């Protein structure tokens, strides 16, 4: 099967700044992938190269098996909603109408429904909308287009939690009804954790993590309990993080933990808490706090 | 082709810039000129040249037509090439229609003996003064020329901002300067004079068409390097 997106040794350099450094990855059709990373990690640059808005300095990018830049056959199969997407001076309904011309699978009913969900006034000019509503317009267009490859780059600047939940619910429903490949970049990792099937994490232009979300979820746990017992339990494992308070300790170690290990933990009166995706990513980007030892 | 038509339709959503503004300004300057001609007596008819306002409005429209909608177009999976060709399709169609209208108005101006007061608003001596189809053609080429030039300026600004645009204008100034020096060194001022005075406006139309082609290719080349 041809991957929907395939990058090989992809690089992008701006003068003396490296935005993307030797990126290689492959995204399978029909998956929802989270593109995660800190500000300036290269997420937007990667998405712009995938959609032909930007050109790579080195390496190769293929979308649907072809080079995307200036390739109408490939480009018309995707939609890319950017953070702070800029629109010409149009009314909401005009922008929606224009977008509908470009996508054969466009769903007008869905667009209408989403506009209502987000309470966007159809007649208002986009530039008169609040930041959150402007973001919502991008989400409406991105979902209603039903493009085979849908890219969202931090699509919810200024959106309130309720509206974000609407977005997640609609995205889930839409993918179930009309499967497509989705690449979503976000900082709100734990909010979208359940949506994601695959995780790609960038740090300073490099891929630091590229794995199915399920593999990552059980990847590390925090073991809590009496300090000496915890130390006995985690002996032989790499310690990511250690925190001590009086006689108690909380130590984060990578998994896996099989049934036997879990039974042993129970017997030793230790609690095992799996790390959330967000905590894992913080560790993956190497910014974990230094060992804190008090007392 | 469908994509190109869609791009052209996308531009036309903004009717103010492409229809109301140029014709509104033209109507306004026309009325102003009629009033002035009525108040100020003239000997050999009143030539205004104010129809040029229409051309300059289209130049301004051109400078924003491509860049303003580009991020939205690219969001919707339109390539730069399709976006440029679709916009050019709009330019050609609109200019064909608008120049025909201008030629008709020029004809009307003639039959009414200058709106009953010897006002030559749509008629421009030598340039737009031939038979209606010549006026149409010259006017069409001139409009396309203005629009594509504006579009190229807009793209240069988008790609390299103000410093780039400044360099762009300086380069044009230098080109003219070099041409003038070349003519001066070869003592061929009289040839140039003959060239521009003897032939019909159609020759100039041909030169303008070549210029429009240069502007078009220049704009497209600039767009190919533009990122959003």
**Per residue in A162-205, pLDDT tens?**
999 999 999 999 999 999 999 999 988 888 888 999 999 998 89
In this structure, which long-range contacts are made by residues B53-56, counting pairs with CB atoms below 8 Å and at least 24 apart in sequence?
Answer: B53/B25, B53/B26, B53/B29, B54/B22, B54/B25, B54/B26, B54/B98, B54/B102, B55/B142, B55/B143, B55/B146, B56/B146
By C-alpha distance, the chain A residue nearest B79 is A70
pLDDT at A295: 33
Q: Cβ contacts of residue A208 below 8 Å, gap of 6+?
A: A201, A202, A284, A285
Distance between start and end Cα atoms, chain A: 57
- Interface residues of chain B, partner chain A, Cβ below 8 Å: 3, 6, 9-10, 13-14, 68-69, 71-72, 74-82, 224, 227-228
For residue B77, which residues of chain A lie inside 8 Å, CB to CB? 51, 75-80, 102, 147
pLDDT at B199: 62
Does pLDDT of A34 surpass 80?
Answer: yes
Q: Model confidence over B50-102: pLDDT tens digits?
A: 888 888 988 998 898 888 889 999 999 999 999 999 999 999 999 999 999 98
Q: Cβ contacts of residue A295 below 8 Å, gap of 6+?
A: A244, A245, A246
A17 SS3 class: strand
CA-CA-CA-CA dihedral for A98, A103, A108, A113, to nearest 10: -90
By C-alpha distance, the chain B residue nearest A98 is B10
Q: Are A167 and A156 in contact (CB under 8 A)?
A: yes
Instruction: Of A243-252, B86-95, B108-117, B217-226, give the lowest mean pLDDT range.
Output: B108-117
Q: pLDDT averaged over chain A?
A: 89
Nearest to A94 among B6, B13, B77 (CB): B13
The confidence band for A108, taking pLDDT boundaries of 50, 70 and 90, is very high
Residue B141 and residue B146: Cα distance in Å, rounded? 9
The confidence band for A22, taking pLDDT boundaries of 50, 70 and 90, is very high
A221 SS3 class: strand
For residue B10, which residues of chain A lie inside 8 Å, CB to CB? 98, 101
Distance (Å) of CA B83 to CA A47, A147, A213, B10 = 20, 19, 38, 10
Residue A40 and residue A33: Cα distance in Å, rounded? 19
0.90 cut: is pTM over it? no
pLDDT at B198: 61
- Interface residues of chain A, partner chain B, Cβ below 8 Å: 48, 51-55, 70-72, 75-82, 85-90, 94-95, 97-99, 101-103, 138, 141, 145, 147
Estimate the crossing angle of helix B21-39 against helix B52-75, to 10 degrees: 170
Q: Cβ contacts of residue A165 below 8 Å, gap of 6+?
A: none
Q: Model confidence over A259-285: pLDDT tens digits?
A: 888 888 889 999 988 888 888 877 777
Task: Please tell me the CATH code under which domain A5-216 is placed.
Answer: 3.40.50.300
Distance (Å) of CA A243 to CA A222, A240, B9, B135 = 10, 10, 63, 86
Residue extent(s) of CATH 3.40.50.300 domains in chain A: 5-216
Residue B102 and residue B18: Cα distance in Å, rounded? 15
Write down the ipTM of this complex: 0.84
Instruction: Of A95-99, A147-151, B157-161, give the lowest mean pLDDT range.
Output: B157-161
Residue B118 and residue A262: Cα distance in Å, rounded? 101
Q: Are B25 and B53 in contact (CB under 8 A)?
A: yes
Question: What class does CATH assign to A218-293?
Answer: alpha beta
pLDDT at B48: 77
- Whether A75 sits inside 8 A of B6 (CB atoms) is no
Q: Are A140 and A96 in contact (CB under 8 A)?
A: yes
Q: Is the peptide bond before B47 cis (omega within 30 degrees of 0)?
A: no
Q: Model confidence over B12-32: pLDDT tens digits?
A: 998 888 888 899 999 999 888
């Amino acid at each position: 099967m041809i991957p929907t997106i395939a990058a090989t040794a992809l690089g992008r350099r701006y003068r003396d700044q490296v935005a993307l450094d030797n990126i290689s990855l492959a995204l399978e059709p029909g998956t929802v992938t989270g593109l995660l990373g800190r500000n300036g990690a290269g997420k937007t640059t990667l998405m712009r190269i995938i959609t032909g808005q930007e050109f790579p300095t080195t390496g190769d990018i293929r979308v649907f098996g072809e080079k995307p830049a200036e390739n109408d056959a490939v480009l018309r199969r995707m939609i890319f909603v950017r953070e702070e997407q800029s629109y010409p001076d149009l009314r909401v309904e005009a922008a929606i109408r224009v977008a509908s011309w470009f996508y054969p699978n466009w769903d007008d009913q869905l667009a209408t429904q989403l506009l209502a969900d987000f309470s966007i006034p159809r007649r208002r000019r986009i530039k008169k909308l609040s930041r959150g509503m402007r973001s919502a317009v991008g989400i409406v267009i991105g979902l209603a287009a039903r493009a085979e490859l849908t890219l969202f780059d931090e699509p919810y600047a200024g959106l309130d939690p309720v509206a974000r939940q609407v977005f997640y619910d609609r995205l889930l429903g839409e993918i179930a009804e009309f499967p497509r490949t989705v690449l979503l970049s976000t900082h709100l990792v734990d909010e979208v954790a359940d949506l994601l099937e695959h995780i790609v994490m960038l740090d300073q232009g490099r891929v630091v993590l590229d794995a199915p979300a399920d593999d990552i979820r059980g990847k590390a746990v925090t073991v809590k309990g009496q300090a000496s017992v915890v130390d006995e339990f985690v002996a032989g494992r790499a310690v990511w993080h250690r925190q001590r308070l009086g006689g108690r300790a909380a130590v984060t170690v990578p998994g896996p933990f099989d049934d036997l290990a879990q039974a042993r933990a129970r017997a030793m009166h230790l609690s095992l808490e799996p790390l959330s995706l967000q905590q894992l990513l913080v560790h993956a980007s190497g910014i974990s706090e230094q060992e804190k030892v008090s007392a | 082709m469908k994509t190109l038509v869609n791009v052209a339709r996308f531009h036309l959503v903004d009717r103010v810039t492409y229809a109301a503004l140029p014709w509104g300004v033209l109507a306004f300057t026309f009325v102003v000129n009629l009033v002035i001609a009525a108040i100020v007596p003239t000997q050999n008819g009143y030539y205004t040249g104010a129809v040029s306002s229409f051309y300059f409005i289209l130049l301004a429209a051109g400078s924003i037509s491509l860049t303003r909608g580009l991020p939205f177009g690219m969001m919707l999976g339109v390539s730069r090439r399709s976006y440029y060709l679709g916009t050019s399709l709009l330019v050609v169609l609109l200019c064909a229609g608008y120049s025909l209208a201008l030629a008709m108005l020029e004809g009307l101006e003639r039959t009414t003996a200058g709106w009953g007061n010897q006002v030559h608003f749509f008629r421009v001596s030598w340039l737009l003064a031939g038979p209606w189809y010549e006026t149409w053609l010259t006017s069409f080429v001139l409009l396309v020329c203005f629009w594509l030039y504006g579009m190229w300026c807009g793209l240069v600004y988008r790609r390299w901002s103000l410093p780039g645009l400044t360099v762009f204008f300086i380069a044009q100034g230098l080109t003219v300067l070099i041409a003038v020096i070349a003519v001066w060194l070869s003592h061929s001022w009289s040839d140039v004079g003959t060239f521009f005075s003897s032939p019909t406006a159609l020759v100039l139309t041909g030169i303008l068409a070549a210029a429009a082609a240069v502007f078009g290719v220049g704009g497209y080349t600039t767009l190919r390097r533009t990122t959003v």
